[in-house]
Amino acid sequence: MRFLKRVISKQLGELLMERGVITREKLDHALLAQKESGGLLGQILVKLGFVKEEEIAQSLTAQFGFPYLPLGNYEIDLSVTKLVSKNVALQYLLVPIDKIGNVLTIAMADPLNSQAVEDIELVTKCKVQVFVSTMTDIKQAIEKYYK
């Protein structure tokens, strides 16, 4: 299992507060909702309307050093999408975006999901490089490229 080293040791909520994206009250509200129903803090903050998906993606980029890739204007080669099935793409909310040599680049909504990365490496026999994108961008890319 991979262990991801934080570039910044602060928690997601702290980063968002530091950047002035959310207040302590909104963070506490989201943490309570997370305690009650489970789930990822970033997704809960988005669902509650406290932050935009892009702000979560950019904070993950700052926190863990993953590059952020908005997929809206990005064209993906269809041959790359054949490496990962639609079911797997939907299951892990990811989309393969490029392959150079033995390195497959994927965009993920949850780059901390090491199980997804391991599964993709096993299935494709490639080393995986991860970019962060929003859930909405990933879902739209899956719809567009997996017809």
> What's the pLDDT at 3?
44
Please say whether the structural domain 78-145 has been given the CATH code 3.20.20.70. no
pLDDT over 90, % of the chain: 61
Model confidence at 38, in pLDDT bands (50, 70, 90)?
confident
Q: How far apart are CA 137 and CA 89, in angstroms?
A: 13
> What's the pLDDT at 9?
55
Whole-angstrom CA distances from 34 to 12, 14, 17, 31, 115 are: 13, 16, 17, 5, 22
Model confidence at 10, in pLDDT bands (50, 70, 90)?
low
> What's the pLDDT at 2?
47
Strands 94-100 and 127-132: unpaired
* Mean pLDDT taken over the chain: 88
The more confidently predicted of residues 146 and 63 is 146
What integer is the mean pLDDT of 1-25?
73
